Structure 1
Amino acid sequence: MELQKLHYEVVNGIAVVTMDYSKNLNAIDEQMADELMYAVETAENDSNVKVVVIKGSTKAFSAGGDIGYFYQLIKAGGKVNMDGIIGKVGKITNGIKKMSKLVISSVSGSAAGAGVSLALTADFVICAENAKFIMAFVNLGLVPDTGGTYLLVKQLGEKRAMELCATGRPLPAMEAKELGLVHKVVANEELDTATMKLAEKFANGPLISYKNIKRQIYAAGFEDYKHYLDDCEIPTQRECAASADFCEGVKAFMEKRKAAFEGK
């Protein structure tokens, strides 16, 4: 597969997946989703890969969905059907959770929407001090996708998950660490070094043990994850994407004004 929006390389047993599409701040559109899925599958099936690192740019890990694309489609009178992209991102996060190798996300700058979900799906999250997580879906009249609500409920409980999802407030790196979402927060300039140090440690560790710990954790905490993605996440997002509130949310975001939601 020709990769146009990310880079994939394997160095000393570490597969590094770098999202690199500055035009839309590494938004996870269908092409980015296809490339991420390819990278996850390639790393899983490569016996030379022992650990996986997923990272973005210094400015942004990922801005989430491609709101500019939605805006142009809505302005042209078209309908937004998200079933395809949501199905793909669900496969990515489930693939990471079921992966036999440890996955580290390295987060600098903003992780918004689906970018939050992707980052938190990793087994270990390392952040620069400038990192922030924004469950921004609600600001567009949408619900979290890419497994976001499920992951937050599992990790924080339903009350804290509700607060983050319903308010869409930015969650700074240090607060995310205090909540247990983030493994480590380092100075901005130390992020790459700290990430690779942890990756190298795992690459030289007991890989069979790691693989089976992941199997146990998936069985203990994520056995119904695929069911949630297919039977809850897709239909709830489908209803929201068909609403007038979603159209208004997208227009307001692109036109830099406050949205006038009407619950329709």
Structure 2
Amino acid sequence: MELQSFKFRIEDNVAYITLAQGDRGNPFDARFTEEFNYLATECDSNPEIRAVVMDAEGRFFSVGGDLKTFTKGDRTDLPPFIKMATGNMHMGVSRLSRMDAPFIVKADALMAGGSIAFAAAADFLMVGPNAKFYGAFAGIGFSCDCGNSYFLPRRVGVRKAFSFFARNETWTAEQGLEYGLVSEIHPSDELDAATEKLAKELAAGPTFTIGQYKRLMLESLNTPLETQLEMESRALTECTRTDDTWEAVLAVASKQKPVFNYK
């Protein structure tokens, strides 16, 4: 697919997804949603990719939904557009969340509306001091999408997530860290290096095993204890079938440092 809304590259087993329409505020329009789903599928499917970093160009990370698209046609065009757009976005979010490769988001600007889901769904959210988080949906009478109602309560709690959207709140980077949304805050001129260091660390790790952690924790709040215990047992068993795990066990038993090579 020829990309318009994003830039994409793979370097040293790390995939870099960049929102690339900074002059427009990186809005979620039809093209954006199609490309997002395409890139998420590539990251989930490509065995070369062992970590994924998402960032954005421009003075906003993303303003969320594209209001010009919403108002361009007849009012009756909006409901089917929303269903199509959310279909692409939701499939993409699901794949980034369930893939083995760790998903890192880097932001030093405003994240609004649907892009909050990127922040909440990410395994690591690395931000600079200029990062802000704005609910946005209630301001135009929209309910939330892109997994916001699933991921944000898991990061910050149901009551705080509800207040964020219902009261159309804006959180600073420091509040995001305090509430549990943000992983780390770094000075703007150190953010790239800190994110790169994290991505390379994760890409050198046991990616298949990390994927098991991700999927187990996605289910943990919805699953009875005995079911979760069985899922842990099955996930651990699957790890033991991989060359990564077997060779790591042999290495550590021989007092050597393990090297992970397989997705």
| TM-score higher than 0.5 | yes
**Structure 1 residues 77 and 217, CA, compared in 2 at 3 Å: closer, same or farther?**
closer
Question: In 1, are the aligned partners of 2:98 and 2:211 still within 8 Å (CA)?
Answer: no
Question: In 2, are the aligned partners of 1:27 and 1:65 still within 8 Å (CA)?
Answer: yes
Query: Which structure would you say has the larger RCO, counting Cα contacts within 8 Å and 6 or more residues apart?
Result: 1
Higher Cα Rg, which structure: 2
- In structure 2, list runs of 5 or more residues that go unmatched: 224-263
Aligned mates of 1:58, 1:221 — CA distance in 2:
36
Question: In 2, are the aligned partners of 1:127 and 1:182 still within 8 Å (CA)?
Answer: yes
Aligned mates of 1:93, 1:78 — CA distance in 2:
27
Aligned mates of 1:11, 1:186 — CA distance in 2:
23
Instruction: Describe how 1:100-249 pairs up with structure 2 within 5 A.
Output: 100-221=100-221
Instruction: Describe how 1:245-264 pairs up with structure 2 within 5 A.
Output: none
Question: In 1, are the aligned partners of 2:100 and 2:209 still within 8 Å (CA)?
Answer: no
**Structure 1 residues 33 and 222, CA, compared in 2 at 3 Å: closer, same or farther?**
farther
Question: In 2, are the aligned partners of 1:57 and 1:108 still within 8 Å (CA)?
Answer: no
- List per-residue Cα deviations over 1:100-136 (Å, max 9, x = no partner): 1100001121100001112221111001110001110
Identical-pair percentage: 27
Question: In 1, are the aligned partners of 2:21 and 2:58 still within 8 Å (CA)?
Answer: no
Question: In 2, are the aligned partners of 1:26 and 1:63 still within 8 Å (CA)?
Answer: yes
Length-normalised TM-score, structure 1:
0.79
**CA shift at 1:72, angstroms?**
3.1
Aligned mates of 2:115, 2:141 — CA distance in 1:
17
Q: SS at 1:7's partner residue?
A: strand
Q: CA RMSD for the aligned pairs?
A: 1.6
**Count of residue pairs the alignment pairs up:** 221
Aligned mates of 2:24, 2:58 — CA distance in 1:
14
Aligned mates of 1:222, 1:184 — CA distance in 2:
27
The equivalent residue for 1:16 is 16
The equivalent residue for 1:80 is 78
The equivalent residue for 1:230 is none
**Structure 1 residues 140 and 220, CA, compared in 2 at 3 Å: closer, same or farther?**
same
**CA shift at 1:84, angstroms?**
1.0
Question: In 1, are the aligned partners of 2:126 and 2:182 still within 8 Å (CA)?
Answer: yes
Question: In 2, are the aligned partners of 1:62 and 1:111 still within 8 Å (CA)?
Answer: yes
Aligned mates of 1:154, 1:19 — CA distance in 2:
25
**CA shift at 1:36, angstroms?**
1.2
Q: SS at 1:142's partner residue?
A: coil
1:27 maps to 2:27: yes
Aligned mates of 2:58, 2:31 — CA distance in 1:
21
Question: In 2, are the aligned partners of 1:125 and 1:182 still within 8 Å (CA)?
Answer: yes
Which amino acid is the alignment partner of residue 134 of structure 2?
Answer: I
- List per-residue Cα deviations over 1:6-54 (Å, max 9, x = no partner): 0110010100000101242111222111111111111221111100011
Aligned mates of 2:58, 2:210 — CA distance in 1:
29
Aligned mates of 1:69, 1:208 — CA distance in 2:
39
- Which segment is superposed worse, 150-159 or 90-99? 150-159
**Structure 1 residues 10 and 138, CA, compared in 2 at 3 Å: closer, same or farther?**
same
Aligned mates of 2:206, 2:77 — CA distance in 1:
50
- List per-residue Cα deviations over 1:54-99 (Å, max 9, x = no partner): 11125111110001222333xx655412111112211121111111
**Structure 1 residues 222 and 44, CA, compared in 2 at 3 Å: closer, same or farther?**
farther
- In structure 1, list runs of 5 or more residues that go unmatched: 224-264
